[in-house]
Structure 1
Amino acid sequence: MSIRRLSWPRRGASLLLAFLVLLIIYYLNQMGLKLNFEPHAYFPDPVLGQYIRSNFPLPQKASPTVKIVHFMHKSYLVLPDHRRFLSSWRKVYPSYDLYFWTDADIERLVTTRYPELRNFYEKRLGNPLERSDVARVLILHAFGGWYADLDAGSQVNAENITERHSLIVPLEPFLHAMIPFNRRRLVNNAIMYSTPGHPFWMFLISRIAHRILALPNTPRKKISAVENTGPLIMTLAMEQFAAAHAASCGDLRDGLGRVFGCPYILASDR
């Protein structure tokens, strides 16, 4: 059996074309041009905005950096590949407390700190990924600090940023957001920072609950978590929260973070 291979000129032309396409997309992104890829565009809603400002007001006082890093897994047994990522946080933040949450720990947190959400968490969230997305939100709301997925390491100490911001959420790389989800901006919930009690988290929980309770109470595929509890619903909630507090925080497209209580949206390369 013979295997046909592209000749070098044809292969080179294909690679050059792919590179040019990526370069054009990158250039448009850097220029800040509005690409028509967002199903839920950044539109302020006056009624929703008033509801958010009344029920989820911004923190008014600055607070010191919370020196905690949270991780989650179903048990204390982690893959060998994850150990180097865990070690990177200890290396970059040697004085921080590292908390490792198991499923049993999170169930206790929900029962003791958020009993009103216990039935929702245990019976309405349709799979482990949905529960994981909600758990990290409750952990940050309850204790603050950094949350990191087990495959997300730390390279640079960010205390110069956490001293100035109460909520830090990075964006997904542009291509990660555009190709699978048709969005120009998509927040990333794999690494996040917060002070305890930041109101955005409870607003996000309200958005998640509103969506989940409208769905049939049946098992769902894991991939549905992206839309129901993960980056897609979180991006929509951030857009709504940002629009409501635009007078204090500025424009979401500029990263917000004008005052301490505002969310700060980091570019993916940071």
Structure 2
Amino acid sequence: MKTLMIIGIMLSSLMANEGKVLFDKHCASCHTPFIPMEKLKENFLDHNNTLLHLKAPTLNQLSYRLKQRIGDPKGDEDIHRMEVTAFMSDYVLHPDKQKSVCLEEVVRNFDTMPSLQGKVTQEELDKIGEYLYDFDKKVIKEKGVTYEGFDEALKRAKKEHKIIMIEAMSEDCHFCRKMEHEVLIDDEVVKALKKDFVPVRIDIKKHQLPLGLKAELTPTFIFVDEKANILSNVPGAWNKTDFMQLLREAKTQRKEKE
């Protein structure tokens, strides 16, 4: 069984690598791979694409939107992959802006893409689909916040004089995913957390919070000092500006307790 799992992982990795090569060949001339969501919002909502002058939605936009809008994102992942790949394959062969999963304020800035009929095989589309499906997870892993378990976080907080930030979340929490894709991946946010905080992420539907803590809503951000004193317990999803203010307030609260 272990051997089969290893083979499966290797095949999936190989298909993803082939998918990237095919994406670069057929799609990258129009679809920029990654731009932070906050910058994309600014570009489309405030500047009607005159800031970035994009030719088409970015790959991180498509990866996130397709997985939220096509099929059942909470169901079986293998089936969901097939549903997303099937939709993507049909769209690139028979483009129609009316079928787009992107928001209207995004789509209106682009012309309908040319069909790839006769230019790409179904096997190639399947490999591109694998790459597309996994892209947003890959970006979050590479660019997002790194989390630790609470016990290890407390040790680090004591050693490095840092604040523990606990994110109480759940897998089916829409606003948790939204923050993960839009805020907790931002360079400035990640840098601020690395400097003064030790992040912990706990799925409250699967695990209890430490220190007898409770969270009624997800996400909830709980700040704990190196002596395990609770600094604040703040429910809600935040944009970058408000979240950075939340971090500053936690640092102020820590100073007041010292």
Report TM bin, short chain.
under 0.3
TM-score (norm. length: structure 2):
0.23
Q: Using CA pairs under 8 Å that are at least 6 residues apart, name the structure with larger relative contact order, 1 or 2.
A: 1
TM-score (norm. length: structure 1):
0.23
